[in-house]
A and B are shown apart, each in its own frame.
Chain A
Amino acid sequence: MSRLGDLLWRFPSLGMAWRNLGRNRVRTALATLGIVIGVVAIASLGIAGVALQQQATTDLGSLANEVTIRAGSDSDSDGVTDEQVEAIRSVVGGAPVVPERTNSTTLSSRDGEEAFVSVTGVSNADALYSVSEGDAPERLRSGALLTADTARRLGIELGDPVTYDDRLYRVRGIVESDGGFGGGSELVVPISAVDDREAYDAVTVVAPSGDAAQEIVSRLESRFNTGDEEELSITNFASVQENVNSFFDTLNLALLGIGAISLVVASVAILNVMLMSTIERRGEIGVLRAVGIRRGEVLRMILTEATFLGVIGGVVGAAASLGTGLVIFEVLAGDPTLVFEWRSLRYLGYGFGFAVTASVLSGLYPAWKAANDLPVEALRG
């Protein structure tokens, strides 16, 4: 006998159940397949929901983390003043505060192609922009950054010059298109290159997270805007993030519901298989009862069979779901290893747990029925 067999026989219900399942391998395999499909449905749909949510959050990018401050309707100046910037810095603590001046211009390539771009003048470019090529310096004093789309269209590469306000700037970084609302064509130049006004058009505060951004918004509101007076206009897209999250929570629930239906179908299949197999073995169970096997022991044996189906189906299903999850994350997020994060991984646990629970519940009735059959009736077959 195999080592596994020896171990199982220490628990007679396990050993008997294992052998019984081995008697009709095709039926056992099909019942297990039903459970596998149910688990894969639950776990893969759950993981797909997580992947979609993660991708949507990434697409929204820094938007939710950024707080944009402009001159309010009751402001005396036509922008955000240096004093206000200092006040903002003191309110937000350590988060980067980036004053900006904006304008627009038309860039043209050597062969006459033109592109309309918005121009942003900043000093600490690294806080706002991430580059795919070149660098975004902490202090932008010379050179410029250009969005990738525009650069491609105009045939501009790293190190090429662009003209703004009759001055040449060498492109030192290509900015990834954000994909969010801030996306579009943008030329980033040193702040000194845009206007020479005192005030700034906007100030962006980069918070570590969406929640922190909202916290900063409320602090700034109470510092600058009292009652009906709006000294500064403060905007943040964290609420968009919240809506997105809530949408995906609903979507996930719906997906899990669909997955759960397939597991319910699978557990009905197990109920059927267990019922059939106990009816077929009625005489045999009668023999067990006749030779003195207790009702509880018969019940445990059959319940164990159902549990085995659930555990095997759950393990195989979880493994298959992990594979599916790797593919889903590879396709949606480009990084398959993200599936190993707990928020995805837990759906494997849910799927397995549901599978075992559904199988045990499905086994209860057949087990109870077989155990309580009168031996003298059962022996007649």
Chain B
Amino acid sequence: MTVVALDDAVKRYRTGGEVIEALAGVDFRADRGEMVTVIGPSGSGKSTMLNLVGLLDTPSEGTVRLDGRDVTDFSEDELTEERRSEIGFVFQAFHLLPMLTAAENVELPSMWDTARDRSDRAVDLLGRVGLGDRLEHTPEELSGGQKQRVAIARALINEPDVLLADEPTGNLDQDTGRTILDELTRLKRAEDVAIVAVTHDEQLVDYADRVVRLVDGVVQ
């Protein structure tokens, strides 16, 4: 079942007087329980694509679908609600908040939902990524691989349909990168989420169910 899709998506930027076409008509979909790796050199438009799929940005032309719904023309506030409930993010630089503990970082996306206490799920998720004994540690007390596990747990706290990973192994050594990818593979089945990983690291190809190669804003 397709969770997220782009139909003929075009994204143009205006820089100075010049118009740059970062995406030139891309069709893309990701299904529940599969890991799609988008691979391409820098400047190929893969980050732009991830921003569209992650509802952080809107396309200049084309359609974005989430769970079959057309969300292209949603307002920023509506997009925020969709991101909150349907999408989880994992960043290359982890982007954990330094003043919060591991457990609090995992809870962060649901923190303002005071009606719903997610602390048990946060503890559970951290246990499942092997950090059950690091709940009260702050990010600076954790290694790079541990930080990325915390970030993955954070991405899953609101039970999203799709998990987006931007260079998830980019700041990690090869072995640690592998364990993170094993983790993602395990979770995609356990949580039944679509995982879209954007990278220029060929290592990710081994873990992908499907590989999308992007060059100059066009799927090859």
On A, residues with C-beta under 8 Å from B are 10-13, 16, 19-20, 22-23, 283-284, 287-295, 297, 374-376, 379
Besides A291-B83, A291-B89, A295-B80, 6 more A-B contacts (Cβ < 8 Å) are A284-B95, A287-B91, A291-B108, A291-B155, A292-B83, A376-B57
B interface residues, tally (CB under 8 Å): 28
The 4 nearest A-B residue pairs measured at CB: A292-B84, A19-B99, A291-B109, A376-B56
Residue of A nearest to B166 (CB): A379
Q: State A288–B96 Cα separation when bound (angstroms).
A: 10
Is there an interface contact between A291 and B84, defined as CB atoms closer than 8 Å?
yes
Known: A19-B99, A283-B95, A295-B77. A10 touches B114 (CB 8 A): yes
Question: Which residues of chain A come closer than 8 Å to B1, judged between CB atoms?
Answer: none
Is there an interface contact between A294 and B77, defined as CB atoms closer than 8 Å?
yes
User: Could you list some 27 contacts between A and B, CB below 8 A?
Assistant: A10-B114, A12-B112, A16-B111, A19-B99, A287-B89, A287-B95, A287-B97, A290-B83, A290-B89, A291-B108, A291-B109, A291-B154, A292-B80, A292-B87, A292-B158, A293-B111, A293-B112, A294-B80, A294-B81, A294-B112, A295-B76, A295-B77, A297-B112, A375-B56, A376-B56, A376-B57, A379-B56
Q: State A19–B111 Cα separation when bound (angstroms).
A: 14
Q: State A11–B115 Cα separation when bound (angstroms).
A: 11
Question: Please, what's the 1-or-0 string for B52-75, where 1 marks a CB less than 8 Å from any CB in chain A?
Answer: 001011000000000000000000
Distance to closest chain B CB from A61 (angstroms) = 61
B56, B77, B109, B154 interface centre (most CB from chain A within 10 Å): B56
Known: A12-B111, A291-B84. A23 touches B99 (CB 8 A): yes
Residue of B nearest to A375 (CB): B56
Residue of B nearest to A287 (CB): B95
Whether a CB of chain A sits under 8 angstroms from the CB of B181 is: no
Residue of A nearest to B52 (CB): A376
Question: Which residues of chain A come closer than 8 Å to B154, judged between CB atoms?
Answer: 291
Question: Which residues of chain A come closer than 8 Å to B185, judged between CB atoms?
Answer: none
Residue of B nearest to A10 (CB): B114
Q: State A297–B56 Cα separation when bound (angstroms).
A: 17
Distance to closest chain A CB from B154 (angstroms) = 7
Residue of B nearest to A15 (CB): B111
Question: Which residues of chain B come closer than 8 Å to A295, judged between CB atoms?
Answer: 76-77, 80
Is there an interface contact between B100 and A19, defined as CB atoms closer than 8 Å?
yes
Whether a CB of chain A sits under 8 angstroms from the CB of B51 is: yes
Residue of A nearest to B81 (CB): A292
Q: State A227–B210 Cα separation when bound (angstroms).
A: 112
Question: Which residues of chain A come closer than 8 Å to B112, judged between CB atoms?
Answer: 12-13, 293-294, 297
Chain B residues numbered 76-122 whose CB sits less than 8 Å from any CB in chain A: 76-77, 80-81, 83-85, 87-89, 91, 95, 97-100, 108-109, 111-112, 114
Question: Which residues of chain A come closer than 8 Å to B51, judged between CB atoms?
Answer: 376
Distance to closest chain B CB from A13 (angstroms) = 8
